[in-house]
Amino acid sequence: MLSAKSLFEEILDNDESFRLFCSIAASGESQGGWENARIAALVPAVERDLAPKVVRHGADEDKHGRIFNALIKKRGLTPVEVPGDTDYTMLLERRGIGLAHDKLHRDEPLTVQDLVTYLAHSRVTEQRASEQMELLRRLFGDHPDIGRAVKMISHDEDNHLAYCHEELLRFAYAGHGRDIQRTLRECAHVEIRVYRDVSLAVMAHMGRILGWSRAKAAVLAASIHAVYAYERAHGWRRMVSLAMPDRRNALGGPAASAAEFA
């Protein structure tokens, strides 16, 4: 029977699919690390207290990238080039989600509206990341090779999501509520389409590596389209709600070390 666990086990057990999976993950995390580092450097003086949290966010993302690369190295493998159709962060930027890279390359302070855009984008994408890592933690938290990494990254992603909720609510109380809700809705609707497209691309690449039959590939594609149909109708709403998290000031300290994975 085809299940999420059997599918991931098949990917993890094959060297080529494993290194593609980890390379895609490492690339996305490293890109997030760079973006957060640039945002932290450009935070306006009026929001200087936010900068250390953005730095911590970026440090966590960099750490995750190193962890995925270390997992590849541990298998005696090297990273592979990430196919363009699987590059989630790049595809989101191309569709106007988040802060444009040309803005981040300039040495001009961001505006408060820019920070609202950044946090709304992060709230949506961290929802996805938190859910994906929670799934992997449930399936492989006790795995001898990847279990420790999965649990560490899952914990961090939950912190990132809590941070986004708390900071967006702070901005909402300061009078930015309408802009936040509008931006969240726009980001969510684009994200679910990009996530569908990337999921289909990843499964197509994995299918070629693992030699999946047309029937198996069709079942997986149908499942991805079914998830998209649900998210387009109802599921996107979970990405735009805001509630004060149980984890307060989740990014208020230094990032935990990933030295054991290096």
pLDDT digits (tens, 9 = 90+) for 77-115: 999 999 999 999 999 999 999 899 999 999 999 999 999
State if pTM tops 0.85.
yes
Q: How far apart are the first and last CA of the chain?
A: 36
**Residue 254 has what pLDDT?**
64
**Residue 2 has what pLDDT?**
77
**Residue 262 has what pLDDT?**
42
pLDDT above 70 as % of the chain: 96
CB 188 within 8 A of CB 78: no
Residue 187 makes CB contacts below 8 A (sequence gap 6+) with 97, 98, 120, 121, 123, 124, 125, 239
Identify the segments of the chain with pLDDT beneath 50: 260, 262
**Residue 99 has what pLDDT?**
93
Domain extents for the chain? 4-246
Query: Closest by alpha carbon to 262, among 35, 80, 79, 65?
Result: 65
How many other CB atoms are found less than 10 A from the CB of residue 70?
17
Q: What is the CATH number of domain 4-246?
A: 1.20.1260
